């Protein structure tokens, strides 16, 4: 399957972000992509999470997700994007990844489980975690995809749960906070989750300076299939499910694991 990695420089102008997504979807579809993966907070982002996030939050049937659905349908490309979803707590929103099929059908929605309360940040002040930490997956083109968001990448049991549920590729939307060795950690962790589970990892970040960029598609052996730099852009790459079969045959870790 041909996949697009859409690295964005999202800001606080929702309409501008949605136009940028539409442009990436058009380019990805023209290059033959079946799926476009976009970063965490693709539709609304700021350097620091504040009270404006719950203020702009919408339900999944609101205008933002309706626009994303129309974008997917108009260009005939499935897309995964980070949105700010309203919750039952008026002071906190959900940090949610949504997946739409190429006809605009909502395939899945994943509310972030592990919030970034680290390095002086406190995402949980304005963001509410998923009420139940359960895997979120969807099927597209004969491949099962699992969904993760940013800080989730540091929790290997999350990726393992998705793999155990049948995922052959993980889609990680991120706005990986810059800092000492943070790019190195991003690259290492995406590769580690791919290798230890024998699957693909498509990690898509916000661009610098708000994030580290370096969106990447890693294959089940840890090889880099495609990677961007620090600026916004689009990279198209192929994800081969037969590669997953081959690697899992060579390293049958799921059968050998002892718990």
Which among 65, 112, 128, 205 is annotated as catalytic?
112
CB 196 within 8 A of CB 207: no
CA distance 14 to 10: 8
The pair of three-digit structure tokens given for residue 174, joined into one six-digit string: 């991120």
The pair of three-digit structure tokens given for residue 102, joined into one six-digit string: 């190429």
The residue whose two tokens read 């309203």 is 86
For helices 156-164 and 182-197, give the axis angle rounded to 10 degrees.
Answer: 30
Q: Is 65 a catalytic residue?
A: no
Q: Is 132 a catalytic residue?
A: no
Which among 65, 85, 128, 150 is annotated as catalytic?
150
Half-sphere exposure of 184 (CA within 13 A, CB side): 3
Q: Is 150 a catalytic residue?
A: yes
Which among 40, 45, 85, 123 is annotated as catalytic?
40
Question: Which residues belong to the active site?
Answer: 40, 112, 150
């Amino acid at each position: 399957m041909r996949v697009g990695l859409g690295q964005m420089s999202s800001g606080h102008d929702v309409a501008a972000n949605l136009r940028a997504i539409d442009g990436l979807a058009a380019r990805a579809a023209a290059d033959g992509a079946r799926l476009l993966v976009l970063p965490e907070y693709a539709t609304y982002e700021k350097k620091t999470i504040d009270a404006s996030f719950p203020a702009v939050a919408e339900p999944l049937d609101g205008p933002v997700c309706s626009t994303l659905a129309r974008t997917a349908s108009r260009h005939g490309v499935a897309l995964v994007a980070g949105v700010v979803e309203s919750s039952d707590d008026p002071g906190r929103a959900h940090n949610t990844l949504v997946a739409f099929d190429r006809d605009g059908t909502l395939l899945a929605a994943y509310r972030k489980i592990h919030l970034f309360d680290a390095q002086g940040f406190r995402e949980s002040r304005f963001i509410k975690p998923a009420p139940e930490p359960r895997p979120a997956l969807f099927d597209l083109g004969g491949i099962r995809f699992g969904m993760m968001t940013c800080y989730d990448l540091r929790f290997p049991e999350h990726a393992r749960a998705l793999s155990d549920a049948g995922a052959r590729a993980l889609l990680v939307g991120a706005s990986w906070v810059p800092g000492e060795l943070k790019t190195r950690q991003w690259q290492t962790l995406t590769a580690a989750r791919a290798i230890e589970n024998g699957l693909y990892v498509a990690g898509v970040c916000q661009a610098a300076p708000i994030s580290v960029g370096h969106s990447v598609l890693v294959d089940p052996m840890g090889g880099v299939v495609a990677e961007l730099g620090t600026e916004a852009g689009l990279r198209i790459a192929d994800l081969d499910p037969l590669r997953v079969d081959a690697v899992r045959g060579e390293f049958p870790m799921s059968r050998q694991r002892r718990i």
